Amino acid sequence: LVYEDYPTNPINPYGWSKLMAERVIIDAAKAFGLNYSIFRYFNVGGAHEKYHIGQKGEGVTALIPIILQTAKGERERLSIYGDDYSTPDGTGIRDYIHVVDLVKAHIAALPSLEKNTSGIYNLGNGTGFSVLEMLNAAKQVTGIDIKSEIIERRAGDPASVVAASEKAREVLGWKPEYIDVSKIIETAWNWYKSL
């Protein structure tokens, strides 16, 4: 599990850009007497179940939309980056959180800001799923045999990244409602296939 006080030593440019943004926010808060809630999102997925809002677009790199694009025939196959990690099935493990749970975290943070409280919070479910587990869950949800291939690892990808979100639960009173990864995929699939 990755805690908020875990040493911040990014291993890729994406991680460095996020850390630099945090530093700018913290420095601005000190300089101008502001409060802040910095959220460290883990892998966001899903779609709103009532309103027609979901994740799609050119250049999407998130796993769930890519799997669903493949299921819908917009991609020939899912590329799985490496199967030789020190994980149970050899593929990378990540924590997935529903987009609606993220929105609720933002709302939950407002009272703490009004109380002059600042903080950094992980937003994840606290459970990791491998790429193969995600692929299999998507096959179950869609009823489609989604094609995939194992290719080389990407440089800078860690084997496993899972959020410890207890701080957000304790300080903000927030907790994710979508804890079943199949439900996260299902909401995304229902939105995506309606396009």
- Whether 3 is in a domain gets the answer no
* pLDDT value, residue 42: 95
Range of the domain at 18: 13-192
What contacts 165, CB < 8 A, 6 or more positions away?
Answer: 121, 122, 123, 124, 125, 126, 176
Which residues are tagged catalytic? 14
Q: Which amino acid is at 151?
A: I
- Whether 8 is in a domain gets the answer no
> Looking at the 3D structure of the chain, how many domains does it have?
1
Q: Which of 7-21, 37-51, 63-77, 130-144 is least confident?
A: 7-21
Q: Which amino acid is at 50?
A: K
- Whether 5 is in a domain gets the answer no
CATH number for the domain spanning 70: value is 3.90.25.10
* pLDDT value, residue 119: 97
The residue that leads in pLDDT, 39 or 9, is: 39
- Whether 76 is in a domain gets the answer yes
Q: What is the mean pLDDT of the chain?
A: 95
- Whether 1 is in a domain gets the answer no
- Residue 52 in this model has a pLDDT that exceeds 90: no
* pLDDT value, residue 56: 75
172 φ/ψ sector (left φ>0, alpha ψ -120 to 50, else beta): alpha
- Whether 48 is in a domain gets the answer yes
- Residue 101 in this model has a pLDDT that exceeds 90: yes
